[in-house]
Amino acid sequence: MYRLPFIIVLICLSCTSLWAQSPHGNGLKIDCSQCHNPDGWTVNYQSTTFDHSTTNFTLEGAHKNTDCKSCHSTLVFDNTPNDCLSCHTDVHEQSVGNDCVRCHTSQNWLVFNVPEIHESNGFPLIGAHFSVNCIECHQGESGLIFTPRGNECIECHQTDYIATTSPNHTASGFSTDCTECHSPTGTGWSSDGFIHDFFPLTGGHHIQDCSRCHDVTNFSDISPDCVFCHEDDYVATTNPNHTSAGFSNDCAQCHSTGPGWTPATVNHDFFPLTSGHNINDCMACHTDGNFSDTPTECVACHLDDYNTSTNPNHQAANFPTDCASCHTTNPGWTPATFDHDGQYFPIYSGRHDNEWSSCTDCHTNPNDYSVYTCITCHTQGNTADQHEDVNDYVYQSSACLQCHPDGSD
């Protein structure tokens, strides 16, 4: 009767001993049948029900069909590292870091995102760089060791820089930052892709022969001032003569980069060339060929027009010689706007508004507008009656204006 408990204890001790003999260690506490079957201990990877994602390392791609022993060499699973280099030999020898997933996936070792990798590193593979073999820049002991290079152009192109003779980059003191002159999207070093934004090559400046402007032995000391290249053009110009006229030698003040120096657009804001003044013949105003001392007063050009005007006679009427006081720059001197109310006597406002029909109603001498009459309309009888109590009353037009300068009673 005492033998039964002893047998039970023996069985329990036997089971405990068998459990302790598991090659997977004490950390794996799952049912053996999740991986093994009654036919033996061989694992059928297609039928195993063990969920590897519970280990924080999901089996994807090529890892799904990998023999467990390839990673778990001791069969003790709970201390297996999950970094790539623990299982995979770094054929790049740390030249690209130790994070394999930056370039590789679990499907295979082929790399399809080289451009994206380069862009994330700050050096996009564009232009000629797109078709360059990796080892042309990343030169190492083998084709799999990608020695790191800097992102500066000179890191790869110092030999090109030194060997260039047309122009000689070293002698000219050119920048070693190739992108200052060459487009990174270009496929070669030709001048077609040359960036000349510091001095835009537009119009007549759009030339391919650098030697037209540059001393090809030294590109660094050329001046951007127009006269540096165009002094001969300035001196030789006769229509108009730029030298005698004292024109500025900054060509851009009047000219664009259009070929042939035309059209020229003079910045004439100091004397706006509008309407009748908008003429292309500079000599019409600058008659002596000297553009630096031409007066801006109207009468300097229009004295003859002033003297010959008869309707009305400006000279006889003592009109001001400042044409702008009555005229705009419209051709033909019309329309003319004479400020009679403000300068002389109100005839468009006050008591005299609509009381006259022609200038000659008051200015009876069309050859002398300084002569005027009031007593033609204001008869002597009515005027005398209105001034019975006014001392020193005189029936004269000048007396009328003296006492009634604004036309009021």
3-state secondary structure of 275: helix
Q: How far apart are CA 271 and CA 279, in angstroms?
A: 13
Give me the residue label for tokens 């001197």: 333
Among 234, 329, 240, smallest CA distance to 282 is for: 240
Element (H, E) at 402: helix 397-403
Give me the residue label for tokens 């506490």: 29
Contacts 24+ apart (CB under 8 A), 384-388: none
Q: What is the pLDDT of residue 306?
A: 92
Which residues touch 128 (CB under 8 Å, ≥6 apart)? Answer: 186, 187, 188
Domain layout of the chain by residue ranges: 152-222, 227-293, 295-358, 373-409
Half-sphere exposure of 224 (CA within 13 A, CB side): 7
- Provide the token pair at 194: 């040359």
Q: How far apart are CA 255 and CA 298, in angstroms?
A: 27
Exposure letters 225-257 (e unless 16+ CB within 10 A, then b)? ebeebeeeeeeeeeebebeebebeeebeebbee
Q: What is the pLDDT of residue 84?
A: 84
Q: In terms of pTM, does the model score above 0.85?
A: no
Half-sphere exposure of 356 (CA within 13 A, CB side): 20
- Provide the token pair at 190: 């030709």
Q: How far apart are CA 69 and CA 30, in angstroms?
A: 18
Longest dimension (CA), the chain: 171
Q: 305: exposed, middle or buried (C-beta count within 10 Å: 0-12, 13-18, 19+)?
A: middle
How do the pLDDT tens digits run along the chain, 409 residues long?
Answer: 445 454 444 444 444 444 446 788 777 788 888 888 888 888 777 777 788 888 888 888 888 888 888 888 888 887 788 888 888 888 888 888 788 888 888 888 888 888 888 887 778 888 888 888 887 888 777 778 887 777 888 888 999 999 988 778 888 788 888 888 888 888 877 666 677 888 888 888 988 777 788 877 777 778 889 999 999 999 998 877 888 878 889 998 888 898 888 877 777 877 888 888 988 777 788 877 667 678 889 998 999 999 998 877 888 777 888 898 888 898 888 878 778 888 889 988 889 998 888 788 898 887 677 789 999 899 998 899 889 888 889 999 999 999 999 988 7
Q: How far apart are CA 106 and CA 88, in angstroms?
A: 12
Alpha-helical segments (H) within 206-297: 226-236, 242-245
Beta-bridge partners for 310:
313
Alpha-carbon distance values, 284 to 163, 248, 281, 353 (Å): 59, 20, 6, 42
Alpha-carbon distance values, 288 to 247, 277, 284 (Å): 14, 18, 10
